[in-house]
Amino acid sequence: MRYALTALPPPDGLPFDDVIDVRSPAEYAEDHIPGAINLPALSDAERAEVGTVYVRQDRFLARKMGAAMVARNVAGHLEGALADRDGGWRPLVYCWRGGQRSGSFATILEQIGWRVEVLDGGYRSYRRLVVDRLYHRPLGARVVLIDGGTGSGKTQLLPHLARLGAQVIDLEGLAEHRGSNFGGWAGGQPSQKMFESRLAQAIGTLDPARPLFLEAESNAIGKVLLPPAIWSAMGTARVIRMEVPVAARARFLTTAYPDLTDDADRLRARIERLRPYHPRDRIEGWHEMARAGRFVDLAASLIADHYDPRYASPARTARQVTGTVALSGLTDADLARAAERVMAMLG
């Protein structure tokens, strides 16, 4: 049987016991339907081998090779990941476009007696829905931006707002990046497609009648780009600005970036990335502060000489500010009080 995906999957998932992505591990890692498990019909190496034979040698031979590989791999899944599934199990299977890989996999499951369905159009049908939601439709929510200089605790304010019942999307969390030259996470970022899948899923839970709080960002968070639905809404959003003294911001940054203060080589590399934008003596001064462990001084200098001048861009300063929240510190208690003030501003 074929299953047609006409809308993005709801937060609680599709109406199946399991959604099985039978594409190769590399395809799955780039992006997949939320909640899907990966049981590859072909490994990355097998897929490349079959594809090479198909293009360069003989299509019939490629299909024969592929069929043997799929049969062996499905047998392994039946004896492994699927060994505990009972007779009432009902899975949905998909590959790239709902073709041979998912069809072959589903046929074997069907012959066992399971009520299996194949996603019509495969992963591509899901991806089209994501693209439509993020690139061709307005966001449909009233956005409020939390703005402020680097180290103002904007990201950390979001969970405090959420605890008060506000709608928030942590864009940096979805992008796995803190949004600056020093902001990369140790594990790296998701692909653009994976980021968009996460974002589309988050948007799907929103109540359009209530405001949505986002941290003010540029159109790129590390290597991933904000799609038009978000970027356009941010351009016309109300803005609440956090104002925090440089000294407090510098102290806060040393606690927010422990992965850099604990790794001299990574910190050195991040400072070197700024060399094209600053005079040599300033770069060397930052290196000296890092070597001496003067991380608060380093953060303060980076704020004053690098981040704040870039923060004062015409596009950012032109935003209409609804309100300002002044903080003397950035403890959890400070941020909790700031969240209450933000909520009060919006009535």
Question: In sequence order, which residues have a C-beta less than 8 Å from that of residue 257 and are 6 or more positions away?
Answer: 178, 182, 183
Question: What does R_g of the chain's alpha carbons equal in angstroms?
Answer: 25
Strand order in the sheet with 91-94: 2-3, 117-119, 91-94, 18-21, 37-38
Torsion of CA 221, 225, 229, 233, to 10 degrees: 40
Annotated active-site residue in 19, 93, 95, 141: 95
Say whether 58 sits in a helix, a strand or coil: coil
- Number of residues in the chain: 347
Reference 74, options 110, 45, 51, 108; nearest CA is 108
First to last CA, the chain: 52
Give yes or no: 93 in active site. Answer: no
Let me know: does 249 contact 151? Beta carbons within 8 Å: yes
**Catalytic site positions:** 95
